[in-house]
Structure 1
Amino acid sequence: MSQPLLHLQDRLTHLTLAPGIGASLVNWQAKATGQALLRPADGAALASGSPRRLGCYPLAPWSNRVAEGGFQRPDGWLALAANTEHDPYPIHGSAWQQPWAVEQHSERRVRLSLDSSVPFAYRATLDVHLYEGCLSLDLQVTHQEAAATWYGLGLHPYFPRHADTRLHAQARSVWLAQEGALPSWQAEVPEHWDFATARALPAKAVDHAFGEWSGDCVIEQPGAGYRLLCSASGAGHFLLFCPEQQPFFCFEPVSHPINAHHLPGRPGLQLLEQGEAMSLGFKLQYQALHGAA
C-alpha cells in the first residue's frame, strides 16, 4: 500500500515524512547535492510500512526495552506484552506503531499528533521545522488518564555510516550489563567508546546507553562533504547503536537509559499525573564542507 508523504523544504534541504508510519521521517537531503543526511529510504523501505526501515521516528511513552513484563505504577502493576517479533521485550513504547494525524502543514513546518489508548491514555505531538538547513524536532506527551504513570521520551534517527564517519558526543558514563541481560549498572566510559573528542565509530557492535550527556553532538561526514551540529533538550542520555558491517548507525537522544523502569531511582523517567506533560527536543544543523553547497 502506498503511504501519503508530506514535504518540507528550506533553502538548503528537503524533508519527506510519513505520518501514517509512526510519524516517521523518511528522507532528509541536501538540495544542492542530493546527499542523504539521514539513512536513505527507498520505495521498498517505504512500502514495508516499518519505521525501522526509514530515517527517524519518535519514541513514546518510553524508549528502548522494558523488562519483567511491565512496570509498577503508584496504583499497581502495568502489564506489557512484547510488541515486535524480533525482541522478547516491549520496545520503544507505542507511538511508533500507530498512524499520526496532520494538524498543521506549511512549506517549512508540520505538526503531527497522536491520541493513544495503548498501553494507557496519552496525547503526543511532534513539531518538525526546517530553517536554513536546521531540522528541529520537538516531541511532547501529555498524560490523559487518572492513574499517574511513568514516562520517558526519545527520538530514533538513523544516519549514514561511511568509512570516515566521526562522532563527537561527550558523556561521563555508560550503562553496562551481564552477558545476555539488560543494563543494570553505570561505569566510566572506556577509551574505545569515548567520544569526548571526535573519533571514528567502533568497528565492533555497540548498543549502549550513555549518561551524563551535555546534549551536544557533532556527526562528521568528511567524504560526503558535510557535518551535522546537533543539540538536544530534555535528553540526559543518548543511545548509540552501531551494528557491524551495516551502512548506518543510530544516535538517539533519550530521557532515560534502557529499562529505566526497573533501575534504582528510575533515572530520567517522569511520573506524570493527568494533564501533566513532558518534552524532548533535537536540533540538527546541516553544514556543508569543502565548498559544497
Structure 2
Amino acid sequence: MSNEDVILTAGDAEVTVQPGNGCRIGSLRVGGVELLRQGQKYGCFPMAPWCGRIRDGRFRDGAAVHQMPLNSPPHAIHGFARNAEWRTARTSDTEAVFTYDLADPWPYPGRVTQIVELTEDTLTLRLGIETYGASFPAQAGWHPWFNRSLEGGGDPVRVDFTPAWQEERGEDHLPTGRRIDPRPGPWDDCFGMPDGVDVTLTWPGRFEVDVTSRERWVVVYDEQEAAVCVEPQTGPPDGLNTDPRLVTPIEPLETSTTWSWRRL
C-alpha cells in the first residue's frame, strides 16, 4: 500500500496519520477542535529505536561502541522513526497498522510497527520493535505536541501529574544519574512514575485529556509558547547506555499509550 495519509474516524473524533512523514499523528480533531500543534515537525511522532538524547551520539552494546549521527549536536536525538517513510500495512475505519525497516546508520536489522486505534473518546498507540538477527538495545515512545491553547478561545492548558521522582538534568540536558524531588516547571525533564505514566491535560471549560501508559518514564516539555509535550517512553534519555531494554529474537520491545478525553 502507499504511504499517503490515512484518516480514521469514530464518533466526532478524527485522526490523520502520515506514514510518509515519520508515521506521525498529523492531526487529532474532536468535535472539530484540533488538539495537536500543526506543522511538518509537530503532531505526535513515534520515537524509535531510542527516545530523547544519546550522549555524544554514542552507545555501547557489549564490547561494540556505535556512533549515531549528531542531529542535535553534541547529541543524537529521538531516533530515526520520525524521519522515515513508513509503509501502510492495513487500515479500517478506526484502526491502522504501519511498518518500517531499520536500516543504516542503525547497526542492526529489524522492524518497527505502529498500530493506531481510535474510539469515540480514546486514541491508543502501540509500538513494537523486533530484530531480524542479533539482539540489540532499543527504546520506544511518543512525542506529542499538544496545543497550549485551543482554537475558539479559553485558558491555556494545565498539566497535572504526580511523579515519584525527577531525573536531575545536567547542563547538557541529560540526566546526571541522580533522582531528585520533582521541581516546578517550566520543564524539559524526565520523571519517574513507577506505577505507570498518568498525566492529565486540562483546557479549562473545554477538554480534559488523560495520557496513560504502563511505562515508568515520561518526559514533559513545556518551554515553548505554542505547545506542551507529554512523552511516555520505555526508558530515560540516554537510556541505551544507562537503562537499555534488549530486543531479542524471542522478545520484541512492545509498548503502548492511550489518550482518553472528555468535554468539560
TM-score, normalisation: structure 1: 0.81
SS in 2 for 1:184: strand
String of CA shifts for 1:202-229, please: whole Å, max 9, x gaps. 4x4x211101343222111114x11112
Shift of 1:275: 4.7
SS in 2 for 1:81: coil
Distance 1:36 1:149, change over 3 A: same
Shift of 1:22: 0.6
Q: What residue is the counterpart of 1:195 in the other structure?
A: none
Q: What residue is the counterpart of 1:209 in the other structure?
A: 190
Name the aligned partner's letter for residue 157 of structure 1.
Answer: P
Name the aligned partner's letter for residue 223 of structure 2.
Answer: P
Q: What residue is the counterpart of 2:159 in the other structure?
A: 167
SS in 2 for 1:279: strand
* Cα distance in structure 2, aligned partners of 1:16 and 1:88: 33
SS in 2 for 1:20: helix
Shift of 1:181: 5.2
Query: How many matched pairs?
Result: 254
Name the aligned partner's letter for residue 282 of structure 1.
Answer: T
Name the aligned partner's letter for residue 221 of structure 2.
Answer: F
Q: 2:216 aligns with which of 233, 236, 244?
A: 236
Q: What residue is the counterpart of 1:151 in the other structure?
A: 138
CA contact (8 A) 1:22 1:58 kept: yes
SS in 2 for 1:96: helix
Q: 1:36 aligns with which of 30, 34, 37?
A: 34
Shift of 1:145: 2.3
CA contact (8 A) 2:169 2:189 kept: no
Distance 1:240 1:273, change over 3 A: same
CA contact (8 A) 1:172 1:188 kept: no
Q: 1:226 aligns with which of 174, 193, 207?
A: 207
Distance 1:69 1:129, change over 3 A: closer
* Cα distance in structure 2, aligned partners of 1:186 and 1:255: 18
Q: 2:117 aligns with which of 129, 146, 167?
A: 129
CA contact (8 A) 2:19 2:98 kept: yes
* Cα distance in structure 1, aligned partners of 2:120 and 2:22: 26
Distance 1:142 1:226, change over 3 A: same
SS in 2 for 1:256: coil
SS in 1 for 2:77: coil
Q: What residue is the counterpart of 1:67 in the other structure?
A: 55
CA contact (8 A) 1:62 1:152 kept: yes
SS in 1 for 2:76: coil
- Percent identity, aligned pairs only, is 23
Q: 1 or 2, which has the higher strand percentage? A: 2
Q: What residue is the counterpart of 1:90 in the other structure?
A: 76
- The correspondence of residues 248-263 of structure 1 with structure 2, limited to 5 A, is 248-263=227-242
Shift of 1:90: 1.2
Shift of 1:158: 0.7
Q: What residue is the counterpart of 2:129 in the other structure?
A: 141
* Cα distance in structure 2, aligned partners of 1:14 and 1:4: 16
In structure 2, stretches of 5+ residues that fail to align are 150-154
SS in 2 for 1:112: strand
TM-score, normalisation: structure 2: 0.89
Name the aligned partner's letter for residue 16 of structure 1.
Answer: T
In structure 1, stretches of 5+ residues that fail to align are 47-52, 193-201
String of CA shifts for 1:130-161, please: whole Å, max 9, x gaps. 11221010111102222x21111111111111
Q: 1:186 aligns with which of 147, 153, 178?
A: 178
SS in 1 for 2:4: coil
Q: What residue is the counterpart of 2:98 in the other structure?
A: 112
Distance 1:10 1:270, change over 3 A: same
Shift of 1:191: 4.7
Shift of 1:88: 2.6
Q: What residue is the counterpart of 1:56 in the other structure?
A: 44
SS in 1 for 2:85: coil
2:102 aligned with 1:102: no
String of CA shifts for 1:66-121, please: whole Å, max 9, x gaps. 11441111252222221x3x533111111111100001111111001111223021
Q: What residue is the counterpart of 1:77 in the other structure?
A: 65
